[in-house]
A and B are shown apart, each in its own frame.
Chain A
Amino acid sequence: MLWVDKYRPKTLDQAMVHQDIAQNLKKLVAEQDCPHLLFYGPSGSGKKTLIIALIRQIFGPSADKVKVENRTWKVDAGSRTIDIELTTLSSTNHIELNPSDAGFQDRYIVQEIIKEMAKNRPIDTKGKKGYKILVLNEVDKLSREAQHSLRRTMEKYSAYCRLILCCNSSSKVTEAIRSRCLNVRINAPTDEQIVKALEFIGKKEGLQLPSEFSARIAEKSNRSLRRAILSLETCRVQQYPFTSNQIIPSMDWEEYVSEIASDIMKEQSPKRLYLVRQKLYELLVNCIPPEIILKRLLFELLKKLDAELKHEVCHWAAYYEHRMRLGQKAIFHLEAFVAKFMSIYKAFLIAAFG
């Protein structure tokens, strides 16, 4: 088992970071009338960990017995029935799923599952809660329609079914949904907190962990606890005993984007654009989300630029990322950004050096 999973705290009391939030969540579910919850915060900050621990807090150890299933829903879409397949993770008292995986049919999933849960309401035997929990991941990726269809359902079935929504950017969740939940912000852990978590794992694994080294890992992790733990494990495989200045490997795709940035800075020409285009394709084919590519590219370019150009470049990055959202083919917009950058940079070079 990877360390990220092995050392994921199982209960709210074991949380290494976000202890205050964990304690608050405990109080929140002490009574049976807890509101719907919306967890939001950056990737790798610990949302899922808290959610799992919270479910365990409510239902006890039975929540640990989860089964993964590929389920098919038959939904009645007006004139015809359609089959939608989705992976679910469930225990006796909760179901977890990624409705946005159903693409533009996400709406039907949201509609069906809650009604279905309401029908199979658990009987309130001794010690069991009278409601089930539905965890919906990536709600920021849900279509508008799916979000709309959640609104009234959340109210109507609230006695039977409590929702825990999880997402990265809560700005993309409609006002109406946010107004129906208690919003719980999970901030990315600070470098110090990450170091503490790394030291904890180091101790459990019986490792000698130089403090400068753990500090470097934390700094390089960009405040993502998951990333820091993954790095630590990779480093452990590559070289042990640790030394303070040992190399912390970057991710392949990041190296690749950094290369692209150098390519662009070195030459601004249609030929170079063509080369870069192929590299961008390569990244997309490997399922790196286009906005992540664009942000990383911007990051690399900003490192190399004069202050006066930085404004202009970030302006265009924001512009093309937005166009990418509205459009269909990400590659067009990534390429447009690169072309724009080349023309700005070339003009700058000519003005500066003739």
Chain B
Amino acid sequence: MAPLVQSSQPWVEKYRPKQVKDVAQQDEVVRVLTNTLETSNCPHMLFYGPPGTGKTTTALAIAHQLFGPELYKSRVLELNASDDRGINVVRTKIKDFAAVAVGSGQRQGGYPCPPFKIIILDEADSMTEDAQNALRRTMETYSKVTRFFFICNYISRIIEPLASRCAKFRFKPLSEEIMITRVLHICQEEGLNLEPEVLSTLSSISQGDLRRAITYLQSATRLFGSSITSKDLISVSGVIPEEVIETFFAACRSGNFDLANKEVNNVIAEGYPVSQMFSQLFEIVVGANDISDEQKARICKKLGEADKRLVDGGDEYLQLLDVASSAMRAICNMQEDFS
């Protein structure tokens, strides 16, 4: 790629590993794929796991390493959720691509160039079940000359007949140690110097998502210069300050509905994401040592329900108010259910 493109890319792209061996943490898949580079063969693959753990990176890297820039276009088809992947596309586009014959497996320009094509279906969990079913036949018909790479966050959304045809690899959230190693590498390239304590904060707020860690790092660098503190990182990360949660929970404990309602309004006006509020509230409730297990259970039950409703598109204010009211009723031993 031209240097101009390089410099205008966000760090997440700039530091996307180009080679399989540079993918951190996911040893198992790296081993299998390194082997592929030698033997020039591989099974169909299914990568699954949470965001920012290297799934797309790995698939793109192996495709590039197998075919090199010359052949890449004719041998690799990348389809993601932004492409139409209805049944028709699966039937025609993928078939057309798979059906064109490939030459015998001859190394070209230093790349293994095995005699098959790769079809990468990124974000496969957003494909309809019908489209997935249509793929079964295609996979079988062209099994000699194609390898499919399915990538998704939720393996449960991939139909069993497809999943069972693939070698499955779970991409694990990055451990603190490995994340720090990777971040340190970037710091070195960018001339940054981070204290160990700051590194560990970065890792804990990113929750195993390296993409997030890199975005926070870049943002904090732009905003606060090359000496970054833990506070700077927290402020760019969107984690809600502990005091806000404490004040909110104190209002629930007070038994005063209007006070709790006022706090709810405040949280909404401050723009804190309610889903984030729920996760942090959950930690506080579970850790509180002056309320009984039964009371905790009551609150957590409500948190679960409200979280589901948010995912369904429920209103943030109403759901947070409902949680506040339930927590108050649990702590003050008031009526639990209404009918």
Residues of A that sit less than 8 Å from B by CB:
24, 27-28, 30-36, 40-42, 45, 76-79, 110-111, 114-115, 124, 129-131, 144-145, 148-153, 155-156, 158-159, 169-172, 175-176, 179-183, 185-188, 222-223, 291, 294-295, 298, 302, 307, 310-312, 314-319, 321-322, 325-326
Report yes or no: B211 in contact with A188, Cβ–Cβ below 8 A: no
Report yes or no: A182 in contact with B318, Cβ–Cβ below 8 A: no
- Known contacts being A27-B222, A78-B84, A182-B215, is A188 close to B51, with CB within 8 Å? no
Complex CA–CA separation, A325 to B272 (angstroms): 22
Report yes or no: A171 in contact with B316, Cβ–Cβ below 8 A: yes
Residues of A contacting B335 in the complex (Cβ-Cβ under 8 angstroms) = 311
Q: A27-B223, A307-B258 are in contact. List 12 more A-B contacts (CB 8 A).
A: A33-B7, A45-B271, A78-B88, A129-B8, A152-B123, A158-B13, A185-B270, A186-B271, A187-B270, A188-B269, A188-B270, A318-B322
Instruction: State whether the Cβ of B334 lies closer than 8 Å to any Cβ in chain A.
Output: yes
Interface of A is mostly: helix
Which of the 9-residue segments B27-35, B68-76, B142-150, B305-313 touches chain A?
Answer: B305-313
Residues of A contacting B322 in the complex (Cβ-Cβ under 8 angstroms) = 314-315, 317-319
Report yes or no: B315 in contact with A148, Cβ–Cβ below 8 A: no
Q: Among the listed A131, A181, A223, which residue makes an inter-chain contact with B8, where contact means beta carbons less than 8 Å apart?
A: A131
Complex CA–CA separation, A150 to B325 (angstroms): 37
Residues of B contacting A181 in the complex (Cβ-Cβ under 8 angstroms) = 215
Instruction: State whether the Cβ of B105 lies closer than 8 Å to any Cβ in chain A.
Output: no
Instruction: State whether the Cβ of B83 lies closer than 8 Å to any Cβ in chain A.
Output: yes
Q: Among the listed A114, A159, A295, A311, which residue makes an inter-chain contact with B328, where contact means beta carbons less than 8 Å apart?
A: A311
Interface string of B65-90 (1 = CB under 8 A from A): 00000000000000011111011110
- Known contacts being A27-B223, A188-B269, is A318 close to B309, with CB within 8 Å? yes
Report yes or no: A150 in contact with B273, Cβ–Cβ below 8 A: no
Complex CA–CA separation, A326 to B314 (angstroms): 9
Complex CA–CA separation, A130 to B4 (angstroms): 8
Complex CA–CA separation, A179 to B13 (angstroms): 13
Q: Among the listed B52, B82, B268, which residue makes an inter-chain contact with A111, where contact means beta carbons less than 8 Å apart?
A: B82
Q: Identify the closest chain A residue to B238 (Cβ).
A: A183
Q: Identify the closest chain A residue to B309 (Cβ).
A: A322
Q: Identify the closest chain B residue to A344 (Cβ).
A: B338
Q: Identify the closest chain B residue to A131 (Cβ).
A: B8
Q: Among the listed A33, A40, A155, A156, which residue makes an inter-chain contact with B273, where contact means beta carbons less than 8 Å apart?
A: A40
Report yes or no: B273 in contact with A169, Cβ–Cβ below 8 A: yes
Instruction: Give 25 CB contacts A-B under 8 Å.
Output: A34-B222, A35-B10, A36-B10, A79-B88, A130-B5, A145-B126, A149-B81, A151-B81, A152-B81, A152-B123, A169-B273, A169-B316, A170-B275, A171-B276, A182-B236, A185-B270, A186-B271, A187-B271, A188-B271, A294-B315, A311-B325, A314-B322, A317-B322, A318-B314, A322-B309
Complex CA–CA separation, A78 to B334 (angstroms): 56
Interface centre among A36, A179, A187, A295 (most CB of B within 10 A): A179
Report yes or no: B271 in contact with A41, Cβ–Cβ below 8 A: yes
Report yes or no: B310 in contact with A171, Cβ–Cβ below 8 A: yes
Complex CA–CA separation, A32 to B3 (angstroms): 13
Report yes or no: B273 in contact with A170, Cβ–Cβ below 8 A: yes
Residues of B contacting A180 in the complex (Cβ-Cβ under 8 angstroms) = 12, 211, 215
Residues of A contacting B218 in the complex (Cβ-Cβ under 8 angstroms) = 33, 35
Residues of B contacting A298 in the complex (Cβ-Cβ under 8 angstroms) = 318
Complex CA–CA separation, A314 to B323 (angstroms): 10
Complex CA–CA separation, A325 to B1 (angstroms): 46
Residues of A contacting B306 in the complex (Cβ-Cβ under 8 angstroms) = 318
